[in-house]
């Protein structure tokens, strides 16, 4: 079975919650940054995203999987002088 995901769904969450009938919605985005000022955060984020790339074996074609594994290797070699930023969307919705 092929699974699909939408990497941009975070920007749609508030609208989707309203359409689903939620009356009170709290939605915000935060920035998580790993850089030379935060090397431990950077290393953890690189490892987390490398693990995600490696866990996609059931959803990708063989060629895509090769690319994902290469991306994981590249993430694990990134260090000083690099920056990684992730902006998750946090949503709380109440009826």
Is residue 1 included in any domain, yes or no?
no
pLDDT in tens, 24-68: 999 999 999 999 999 999 999 999 999 998 888 888 889 999 999
Average of per-residue pLDDT across 65-83: 94
CB under 8 Å to 33, separation ≥6 — which residues?
Answer: 41, 83, 84, 85
Is residue 28 included in any domain, yes or no?
yes
The tally of domains found in the chain comes to 1
CA pair distance 72, 48, nearest whole angstrom: 9
Q: Which domain holds residue 54?
A: 9-94
Is residue 48 included in any domain, yes or no?
yes
Is residue 3 included in any domain, yes or no?
no
DSSP 64: H
**Is residue 77 over pLDDT 70?**
yes
Report the pLDDT value the prediction gives residue 1, as an integer from 0 to 100: 46
Q: Say if pTM beats, i.e. exceeds, 0.95.
A: no
């Amino acid at each position: 079975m092929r699974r699909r995901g939408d990497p941009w769904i975070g920007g749609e969450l508030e609208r989707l919650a309203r359409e689903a009938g939620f009356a009170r919605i709290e939605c915000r985005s935060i920035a998580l940054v790993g850089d030379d000022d935060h090397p431990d955060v950077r290393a953890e984020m690189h490892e987390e995203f490398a693990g995600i790339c490696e866990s996609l074996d059931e959803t990708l074609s063989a060629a895509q999987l090769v690319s994902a594994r290469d991306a994981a290797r590249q993430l694990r070699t990134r260090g000083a002088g690099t920056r990684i930023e992730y902006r998750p969307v946090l949503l709380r919705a109440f009826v």
